Structure 1
Amino acid sequence: MSVFEHPDFDQHEHVAFHQDPISGLSAIIAVHNTNLGPGLGGCRMFNYADSQAALTDVLRLSKGMTYKAAMASLPLGGGKSVIIGDHRSQKTPHMMEQMGRFVESLDGQYVIAEDSGISVSNVIDMAKHTKHVGGVGGNLQFDGSPADGNPAPATAYGVFVGLREAVKYRLNKGLGEVSVAITGIGSVGMRLAEHLYNAGAKIFVADVFEPNCKIAKERFGATIVSVEDISTLDVDVFAPCALGNAINQTNINLIKAKVISGAANNQLQHPEIGTELHAREILYAPDYVINAGGIIDIHHQKIASKPEAIKTHLEKVAQTLNTVFERSESQDLPTSLIADRLAEERFS
């Protein structure tokens, strides 16, 4: 199957492959749309089953970044990159430098930043060979604390603001009255758990990396459950904060939560899942709307915004979601479809 025939190709402007046998780098960069600006998106390093799985992931993520930037009202397009390999055992500084050279070969079409398996220090290594990097020159975070370039705090805060809005819209409750099941207690999920704990929510957590769950239990009184059971708990909110396809044909009819609101990208296995959620009256906060905090933060760090400007922009996530929810209700259409239409109006 050629790239053009791939079901997730969706008119990508540029898809590039690169392999360096010396460093062991095998990577793909996908640029979906640059109508509003260069394609900004993080680099994910993951031990994919095969190259087709990596290609599917990068195409879906790249497209999602186009929609995310548009819905966040940013002068940016959508792009993404993936490195095939185990970030805990195979990643080296030389590999990261080679990735920088790969990014530079696209001559500014793509701006790279950190993502799962890639740290800010890794992006700094890439920056030795490309100027097209984001999230490495931190100033101050939205709360006034020093920034190190990691967009996770802003992402988590944006998801928290959006989740609070979704709970208010569907359940007419405050966070102190609800239970939330979080799958994926990483850099974003852990921070989201902290925000929810401070707001009084009851928290359930699951992660393939058990030590993170234990931390959440110790710090926030979270109840640990299995990864297999987390999506079907009898809770108010399900918050996917790990990899994609969290809502799929296997669990769609078993979900008891009335709100789905989390940080993960590509949460729906396929578009029809959004229709099924709408039919079941489960309020879904479209992933690329609610998790836009990271790209918002990277943009503001680059232009050296003041903390209050960053926080104001992050809190607009709630306003955008409210618009999506209201149109979904008035038009009797899935929130996922409404968000797509709004984004496409902006970047097309």
Structure 2
Amino acid sequence: MQGRTETVLVLGASGGIGGEMARQLRDAGWRVAALKRDLAATQELRDGIHWLRGDALNAADVAVAARGCGVVVHAVNPPGYRDWGRLVLPMLEHSIAAARVEGATLVLPGTVYNFGPDSFPLLREDSPQRPLTRKGAIRVEMERRLHTASEAGLRVLIVRAGDFFGPKAGNNWFSQGLVKPGKPVTAISNPAAPGVGHQWAYLPDVARTMVELLARRDTLPDFASFHMAGHWDASGREMAEAIQRVVARHGGRPPRIGALPWWLLNLASPFVTTLGEMREMRYLWQQPVRMDNSRLVATLGHEPHTPLDDAVEATLRGQGCLPPLTVGRNMAASSFAGTSP
């Protein structure tokens, strides 16, 4: 490698967006370091990623792992998504402190949770952030702290996108709402209200966008935020219908589409943390919420964009919902099959 600007620490590399960022940065020529709490050895090199034993909840571990890094990707969540209110902000402060010492750019994958209905239906980077939920309020505070840090010299990059889906996306609406990982798709539970549009983001496209922006980070403002258009599901059924098409193309019976049983989430949410988080975000499925990517396109000239059916096929295959590929058949579609404005 040729210096510190090509070295990156990814916090959350065992998860969805963190893992995708780690792999794509590695493939782009970066030296990638990552923390893992239960690593057997002090460190190990696996799949081209330098894994270090440590915990994002420990400021000293983060500081040591970030030494020599030109970028810190903060894509980590509390273990099991528990104690969000108590742990999320201290974890971010550890990343801010480490990035400040190293003079590194801090990258945060953002969400639409920051925004409330007064900013709907079209969200821009400067739309008012008045969320309805506890999780949204935490997200707003995270970005406020990053903005304050940027005024003191820290370089910050935030990329906000819709609901994630992808082959290794972890906890998300696609794998915990629409389908059941590891099982053939026989039914689809659609969270959207009838006729209400929804925005999705294919995880490899999100990571690719951040990698491309990092390549231009020296030209960006100290506090730079961008929105992705991703996949806009205008009817609220297009994602479910894409799943039907992909399943049928691979010899399966097109699965039926039914409404997500929100009443069941209400009953189970006191006992299952993830279901409680999903229930809290129901308002995002009851009204159209779309993101304006004009600033991103003006900066990159395009937005990385994989065609929907290709993205859905790769996601279903990665989650074990399609039969195994046979020799001679094409592998899942490329993560970067095209671009769109």
TM-score for both structures, normalised by structure 2: 0.35
TM-score for both structures, normalised by structure 1: 0.34
